């Protein structure tokens, strides 16, 4: 099985690009993470999405080390914790992440949340620090997460550097078109978090009907919808059967009508599973 790869706007190394399908580890308990990621790597996933906030980078690192896979076969993302936005904290915390992951360089480092109500509204100096860390070779690419169009417009206007990706909540019940459009306008790839709406796609009669007609599962239909729209996804599962199911999405296609039917399930703001980034201001203690 070959997973398609997409080219990031800031990646100048002749490597693999970013695999369009990866594996997310949010809410994978730290003691279980090594085993879960080892199983995911056995299934075939090569792109792992973790974060300082998830507390499980060390488990990811242990699985990568145990896998015997070459560094250039893997794509590893982590994200800056909300309490680490000040430049010195960002620098220190990436060093800690690299130590936990057992790597000299991550493939992608993201600002996890813009936190416009924190740090005097300054996420621009944080972004400048991210770019500095990339220029030092500690991460191949840099990006953001949960940036609304105004946040993205501001960092590009003030630094002239566009992120490589913006990782935002996207699924059929919250299609987040305004943020996707802003990403596209700036040449930023969209990474869709909660791609199967945390399992809720199985409750939609529209998705269930399409899945039954195609002999697939609702999660597979939702993942196809994302892939055909050009977004990057990394569904999370601790169950090896569901890991395989989520990986097995490259031998069928949705018709344009079926893609449109999923897009029509959008509920706007009411469809979010997570917080609104304009107001989210939580810093872990
Ligand atoms: P998700 O991938 O949409 O859904 C995961 C949930 O669905 C889990 O409860 C999982 O349970 C279940 N599941 C997995 N595969 C399934 C299948 N085939 N059928 C039915 N249920 C299934 O949600 P997510 O974990 O929130 O999002 C994915 C990744 O995005 C995260 O792991 C993380 O890497 C990233 N993320 C980023 C942010 C951000 O702020 N940047 C926020 C949230 C998530 P089991 O484990 O029991 O299978």
What's the length of the chain? 285
What Cα–Cα distance (Å) separates residue 197 from each residue in 128, 160, 175, 272?
A: 32, 34, 11, 9
DSSP alpha helix (H) spans, 73-144 = 87-101, 124-135
Ligand 1, atom 26, residue with closest C-alpha:
194
Q: How far is the CA of 23 from the centre of ligand 1 (A)?
A: 9
Would residue 22 count as lying in a domain? yes
pLDDT digits (tens, 9 = 90+) for 139-161: 999 999 999 999 999 999 999 99
Tokens of 217: 């599962």
Average pLDDT across the chain, whole number: 97
Q: What is the reported pLDDT for 227?
A: 98
Distance of CA 275 to the CA centre of its chain: 16
Q: What is the reported pLDDT for 231?
A: 98
Ligand 1, atom 42, residue with closest C-alpha:
193
Q: How many domains does the chain divide into?
A: 1
pLDDT digits (tens, 9 = 90+) for 80-122: 999 999 999 999 999 999 999 999 999 999 999 999 999 999 9
Would residue 285 count as lying in a domain? no
Would residue 192 count as lying in a domain? yes
Q: What is the reported pLDDT for 13?
A: 78
Pair 252, 225: CB distance under 8 Å: no
Going by pLDDT thresholds of 50, 70 and 90, the confidence category of residue 12 is confident
Would residue 257 count as lying in a domain? no
Count H helices and E strands in the chain, helices first: 10, 10
pLDDT digits (tens, 9 = 90+) for 167-219: 999 999 999 999 999 999 999 999 999 999 999 999 999 999 999 999 999 99
Pair 57, 100: CB distance under 8 Å: yes
Domain of 63 in residue numbering reads as 15-196
**Taking the model in full, what pTM does it have?**
0.98
Q: How far is the CA of 2 from the centre of ligand 1 (A)?
A: 22
Q: How far is the CA of 187 from the centre of ligand 1 (A)?
A: 26
Q: What is the reported pLDDT for 16?
A: 74
β-bridge pairing 139-145 and 189-193: unpaired
Question: With 80 as the cut, is the pLDDT of residue 15 above it?
Answer: no
Would residue 244 count as lying in a domain? no
Domain of 127, CATH number, reads 3.20.20.100
Would residue 157 count as lying in a domain? yes
Find the mean pLDDT for residues 65-73: 96
Residues framing ligand 1 (Cβ under 6 A): 24-26, 49, 112, 145-146, 167, 193-199, 202, 217, 219, 234-239, 242, 245-246, 274
Residue 218 CA, closest ligand 1 atom number = 19
């Amino acid at each position: 099985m070959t997973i398609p790869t997409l080219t990031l706007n800031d990646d100048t190394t002749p490597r693999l690009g970013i695999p369009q399908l990866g594996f997310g580890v949010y809410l994978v308990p730290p003691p279980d993470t090594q085993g879960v990621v080892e199983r995911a790597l056995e299934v075939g996933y090569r792109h792992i999405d973790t974060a300082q906030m998830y507390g499980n980078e060390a488990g990811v690192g242990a699985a990568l080390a145990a896998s015997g896979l070459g560094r250039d076969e893997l794509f590893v993302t982590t994200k800056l914790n909300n309490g680490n936005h000040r430049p010195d904290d960002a620098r220190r915390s990436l060093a800690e992440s690299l130590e936990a992951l057992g790597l000299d360089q991550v493939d992608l480092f993201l600002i996890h949340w813009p936190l416009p109500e924190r740090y005097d509204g300054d996420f621009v100096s944080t972004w400048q620090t991210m770019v500095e860390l990339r220029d030092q070779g500690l991460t191949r690419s840099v990006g953001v997460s949960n940036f609304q169009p105004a946040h993205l417009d501001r960092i590009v206007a003030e630094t002239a550097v566009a992120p490589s990706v913006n990782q935002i909540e996207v699924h059929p019940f919250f299609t987040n078109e305004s943020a996707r459009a802003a990403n596209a306008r700036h040449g930023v790839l969209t990474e869709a978090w909660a791609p199967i709406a945390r399992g809720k796609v199985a409750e939609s009669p529209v998705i269930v009907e399409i899945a039954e007609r195609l002999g697939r599962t609702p999660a597979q239909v939702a993942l196809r919808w994302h892939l055909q729209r050009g977004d990057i996804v990394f569904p999370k599962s601790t169950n090896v059967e569901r890991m395989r199911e989520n990986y097995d999405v490259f031998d069928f296609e949705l018709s344009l009508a079926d893609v449109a039917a999923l897009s029509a399930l959008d509920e706007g703001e009411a469809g979010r599973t997570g917080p609104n980034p304009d107001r989210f201001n939580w810093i872990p203690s």
